[in-house]
Every structure is written in structure tokens, then in C-alpha cells.
Structure 1
Amino acid sequence: MNGDVTMCTSLTYENLAHQHLLARTMDFPTTTPWRPIFLPRRFEWHTGLATTMVARYAYLGGGRLPVNWPEPLMADGVNETGLTCAELYLPHAARYADQPAPKKINLTPQDFINWVLAQHRNLAEVVADLPHVQLVAQSWADDDFVYPFHWLLSDNTGQTLVIEPTGEPLKAQVNPSGILTNTPVLTTHLQNLAKLLDQPSSKFTTNTITAAQNWHAQKRPLPTGDVPTARFNRMALLRWGSPTVSAVTTNAIIMNWLAQVSLPYDAHRRHQLSHNYTHYRAVINATTQEYLFWSRTAEQPRHLRLTPAMAETWTVPFIFPIN
């Protein structure tokens, strides 16, 4: 599979009720269906390096069931403590170790989101554990491809972090924009946004937000196109140029923003590995542990919640229907 094909867009958001959310499109070529999946506490999952790990926390997110592999491949989710994470593509920029390292937590790229959500309460715990992790360039499950990922994380502190494996020891960057798409790396995205808004500094500040608000007030057209830079800039302008909304209207507003950067499905290209389209849109509420999943084939979204009872009593994974 070509590493350039996925075109996901994601954002974090705080509404007027001070709820913290992470949202994303899942854009991917034709593959097994994506659907909501629950993974329980004490779930034993197999890494791509023939080791096992046991989950400390239950989580709910979007995933798919690979062929000939015992566990789901997860793309995003929220755990029972309100930690959220989404993985996105980083082609040409992601760099992994060639071999596992002694005395390290060695993971394939696909394992990383499980490690984040199943093993940690909050961002602080993830950051503290990052120096112990090594990502290894090895395939996982039913695919020979080593996926080039980076990750957007948030929790109920409202902070947003990005983890980009670019060859140095793993570290978490604060992402004040709350936006992430695909390559280039976050620093370059912020530079491009500053240039668009005619800002003297690439740092995302209150001046950046004011410039985005002025863009909307002047009714200037939003950036268009499928390339990551255009989608990053469009989502940044939508997210920061619009008034903050109530809890009641948050899901509808964010789903509308995601629809504006979604990729259409072409039935004539459905068997082509190069056909990249939006399989689902998701809005994840870290504060309430709610998961809104809108499949391409559904007329309306599925509204799920990771309840305390689920976390306490559900002992096996549960695969929810797509629609």
C-alpha cells in the first residue's frame, strides 16, 4: 500500500460548557469496514513484535478487524479516564528504529494507540512514559506495509499534544492550534498557516486567533483542495474563526466542519488501492466519554458512551454495528 494515500483531518475543541473534544475524519483506501469498537480493562493484546500487553483502562473508538489477526486495529478513541488519541498519516517524514531495543517498550506504529489509551490516565502519564518507548519499523497483522503515523492527543486539561516520530527520541509537542492533518510536520503546518494569515511569527497565539476571526468577518473564501496544507488551514480557520458554541450544538457544528474536508466515495474506483475516501467522521467527548461515529453509509451518526458500568463489567471486546 502506498504511504501517501490517506488524507485524515483532526481537531480538538472546547465548547462553552468547558467540555473537551477530539474529532477526526478517517480517510483511507478500500479496506475492511471501520466501526465503533470497545476494548475492556485487562484486555490482553498482541503487539506486532510477538509480545503481549495487558490493558489497565477500557476504551471506545473507531477500528477495523484485520484478516488473520486476533485483535482490532484501532485508529482513535477515548478511555474511561477521558484520555483521547487519534492516529494520522505522516508519509515521508516518519522514521522508526530498525530493530527493538533492550530495556525499552518496543512497539510497532499500529500498537502505539493501544499503548496510549489502554495504559495511561492522562497526558502527563503518556509524556512521562514516552522516553521508554521505541517504535520499530515492522509490519503488523494482515499487511506487509509499515505505516507512517503521527498522533494527536488530548484530555480533560484541555491541552493538545502531537507526537511525531521523525528519527529522534519520541517527544510530545504542545499543539495550541489543535489541528492536525498529514505530512508536513506540525511545525511546517503552523508556518504555512502564519503565512496565510500574514502573521510575523509562526507561533500560534492570540494574534493568530484574531487573524482567523478577521478572515471570517471579512467573508474571505476558505482554502480548498485535498492536500494536507489546505485542509489544515481550512480547519484552523473554521475552528478559530467561528464563535465558540454550546454543548447542545457542538456535535452538529464539528460534524459540519469535518464534512467540509471529507473525501467522496467513487463506486467505480472501489477496488483500487489508490481510492482514498472518508470512511467515517467521529466526534469524541473526553469529558463525557461519548463517541459519535458517522459512517459513510449511514443516514445518521451512532451515539455511544463509555459508561462506568461498561468499564467495570464488560470483560471482552465488543464490535458495534456500523450503522
Structure 2
Amino acid sequence: MCTAATYKTKDFYFGRNLDLEFSYHETVTVTPRNKVFALRHAGQLDHHYALIGMAFVVGDYPLYYDATNEKGLSMAGLNFPGNAHYNKVVEGKDNVASFELVPWLLGQCATVEEAKAMLERINITDDAFSKELQPSPLHWMIADKNQTIVFEQTVNGGKIYDNPVGVMTNNPTFDYHLLHLADYMNASADVPENKLAKGVQFNVYSRGMGGFGIPGDLSSASRFVKVAFTKMNSISGDSESASISQFFKILGSVEQQKGCCRLSYEDDGTPVCEYTIYSSCCNTDKGIYYYTTYENSQISAVDMHNEDLDGSSTISYELVKDQQINYQNKPNAAE
């Protein structure tokens, strides 16, 4: 499963954890303004806003997991199995395949308000990218510095939700997550006060009791509560270093470690585990995409504005996956 979040200091930040049991050959990918997208049912998108994000690129076509455009509008698709429902072509609608949605929206919209207007007319179709790459069941979080929304298409049709907490996980539908969050409205980052029994003396027996009762398991509902609590109570400076450091700490509160979420077992008994393959943080004002990977906790970055944004082919950067360790006491070269 996955978790997405927003964060605002001097600049606005958007990112996510990708939690899966396997990795495609995803890369940090910049799509310039003149890259042509031949859409299945909506004509051709031949000039659009430039994008940067994480994508699996197939034949120069970026299948984006999450992305930000040059105007600062951001979007991430998260797993939504059992609830996502894609349709055949519907007359009178904007028919867009699920894998086309990120470039279709981010290529043409500068704000969430513009995206809302386009989503009102949309029908997500069940077209596959290829025989080998069938549609993934997804819902999407879309954000700019002013507001965040969630878009879901189920058997009941498309639905746009306002997202006041700026986080998202997976199943169930988004309205459930907001309702469930209300169960924790008494949670506080402060030292607990006795509201259970007035006149009875209770001792606070430990530090770290702020947030007492917040769930810590890896289910979608629990991750939603945990990341919402962490994000809404986060404090940092507004420098780039302080901001991105805090953002990765927010995502780190719900990251998945290998072995803790076992989905199945191989024939030899080896567990198949879901884990956090990468975490991302994009400064949407500057167009800088930061990321870490499971075995590399050093932050790497790609700046979209260091590329030719008027080009016509995608530019991809392989992920740095090996751990980068800074030895402060290097061995004597003479030894």
C-alpha cells in the first residue's frame, strides 16, 4: 500500500511512500513541454506543462506514480483495490485511461480548481497500457499550495473529496478515513491531562506520552491516522533543509520495514513482504524532486529546471539504491 502527504513552510511540498512487494524499473523522470501523448480516446496532447516525478518509463511513455508540474500542481496515484472501478467509453464524457490521468491533468491544469473542473467531466476507462501492463486500481490525491483534494471512481461513479488534512492512504474510500479520524480528535501532542476521573491523582510515568492512543500498525486506516497526526503537529524551520528533513520524518512515521507486512509465502517458505520502496518529497515551488530508497537513506535530488523543458523526449535518472555512508574518520592512506 502507500501513503501521500503535503507540507507547507516557506514553500509547498508534496510526496509519498511507495509500499509494494516488488519494484518496477522506476526512475525520476522529467517530461518536457513538447513530449507528445497520444491519448486513447481524447486526441493528442502535444504541448503541455512540464512534469517531474517518479515513473516507470516504457518506450518513452512515463507511467507516473506521482508527479508535479512546472506550475506547482501535484498528483499521486495510490493503490485502491476492490474499490476502484473503471468503465467502458461513455458518450459525452472525457474518456481517459487510468495511466493517462496524471499527464492529462498535470499537463493542462495549473491549480486544483482547474483540475476539479476537468474531473467533473471525466470517465476513467478500463484501457490497458499493454497486454503485460493491465490497469492498476487507483485513487488520486491532487494538491497545490492552497488546497488538496482526492478523486475516486467507484461503481457509484466519480467523486471529488476536499482533503482538509492533506494526507491519503488506501482503502476504504476517503470519506471513511475522515470519519475514522474523528475517533482520535482527543489525541494531543501535549502531556496528557486527566479527563477520566476528576479528583483522582494519576502520574505521567513516561515522556513520549503525547499522541497516546494513536495507532501504529500498517493498515491503511491506521496509517492515515498516524500520518495525519504527525503532519498536523509537525514543526520545522522554513529553510529547504529543515523543510525536506521534516517531510521525510513525516513519511517515516508510517514507512514499512521488510518482514512486518507479509502478503504470502514462496514455495520454500520465504515470505513475500510489502515494504517502502521509495519515499519522495517535491518542492513544488522550485520543481526539485527529492527521494530516498529502502537501502539508501541519503536524500538524492533532481531539479527539473536544470533540464531543457522545451524538449520532446523524457529525461530519466536511475535511482541511487545503494546505501551512501559518510565516513568521518577515513583510514590513513599511508597504511
Asked if these proteins are the same fold (TM beyond 0.5), I'd say yes
Task: Specify the code of the residue in structure 2 equivalent to 1:314.
Answer: G
Superposed CA offset, 1:122-162 (max 9, x none): 21211121233210123223535432111111113x21111
Distance 2:236 2:136 in 1: 35
Contact (CA 8 Å) 1:161, 1:173: kept in 2 or not?
yes
Mean Cα displacement is larger for which, 238-247 or 78-87?
A: 238-247
Shift in alpha-carbon separation, 1:139–1:176, aligned structure 2, 3 A: same
In structure 1, the residue matched to 2:249 is 256
Query: Over alpha carbons, which structure has the higher Rg?
Result: 2
In structure 1, the residue matched to 2:180 is 192
Question: Which TM-score applies when normalising by structure 2?
Answer: 0.79
In structure 2, the residue matched to 1:14 is 8
Contact (CA 8 Å) 1:193, 1:233: kept in 2 or not?
yes
Secondary structure class of the residue paired with 1:150: strand
Question: Which TM-score applies when normalising by structure 1?
Answer: 0.82
Distance 2:44 2:276 in 1: 32
Contact (CA 8 Å) 2:15, 2:280: kept in 1 or not?
yes
Distance 1:52 1:77 in 2: 20
Report how far residue 61 of structure 1 moved.
Answer: 0.1
Q: Does 1:115 align with 2:104?
A: yes
In structure 1, the residue matched to 2:21 is 29
Shift in alpha-carbon separation, 1:273–1:169, aligned structure 2, 3 A: farther
Distance 1:124 1:304 in 2: 28
Secondary structure class of the residue paired with 2:20: strand
Q: Does 1:80 align with 2:80?
A: no
Report how far residue 249 of structure 1 moved.
Answer: 0.8
**Root mean square deviation, CA, Å:** 2.8
Secondary structure class of the residue paired with 2:285: coil
Report how far residue 79 of structure 1 moved.
Answer: 0.7
Report how far residue 38 of structure 1 moved.
Answer: 0.7
Q: Which runs of 5+ in 2 are unaligned?
A: 193-207, 321-335
Shift in alpha-carbon separation, 1:245–1:222, aligned structure 2, 3 A: farther
1:76-225 alignment to 2 at 5 Å? 76-97=66-87, 99-141=88-130, 143=132, 145-156=134-145, 158-198=146-186, 211-214=187-190, 218=210, 220=212, 222-225=214-217
Distance 2:274 2:15 in 1: 19
Contact (CA 8 Å) 1:35, 1:64: kept in 2 or not?
yes
Distance 2:31 2:265 in 1: 33
Distance 2:27 2:221 in 1: 28
Secondary structure class of the residue paired with 1:300: strand
Contact (CA 8 Å) 2:188, 2:210: kept in 1 or not?
no
In structure 1, the residue matched to 2:200 is none
2:54 is aligned, of 58, 62, 81, to: 62
Report how far residue 105 of structure 1 moved.
Answer: 2.4
Return the structure number with greater helix share: 1
Shift in alpha-carbon separation, 1:212–1:314, aligned structure 2, 3 A: farther
Report how far residue 321 of structure 1 moved.
Answer: 1.8
Distance 1:180 1:34 in 2: 21
Superposed CA offset, 1:24-81 (max 9, x none): 1011231322220011112112446696432411100001134xx5512111111111
In structure 2, the residue matched to 1:294 is 292
In structure 2, the residue matched to 1:201 is none
Distance 1:230 1:283 in 2: 22
1:235 is aligned, of 227, 244, 252, to: 227
Distance 1:231 1:146 in 2: 25
Contact (CA 8 Å) 1:106, 1:135: kept in 2 or not?
yes
Secondary structure class of the residue paired with 2:16: strand
Distance 2:233 2:25 in 1: 34
Task: Specify the code of the residue in structure 2 equivalent to 1:172.
Answer: I
Secondary structure class of the residue paired with 2:154: coil
Return the structure number with greater strand share: 2
Distance 1:39 1:273 in 2: 37
Contact (CA 8 Å) 1:58, 1:311: kept in 2 or not?
no
- Percent identity reads 23
Contact (CA 8 Å) 2:279, 2:293: kept in 1 or not?
yes
Report how far residue 297 of structure 1 moved.
Answer: 3.7
Contact (CA 8 Å) 2:31, 2:309: kept in 1 or not?
no
Q: Does 1:282 align with 2:280?
A: yes
Task: Specify the code of the residue in structure 2 equivalent to 1:82.
Answer: G
Distance 2:172 2:303 in 1: 34
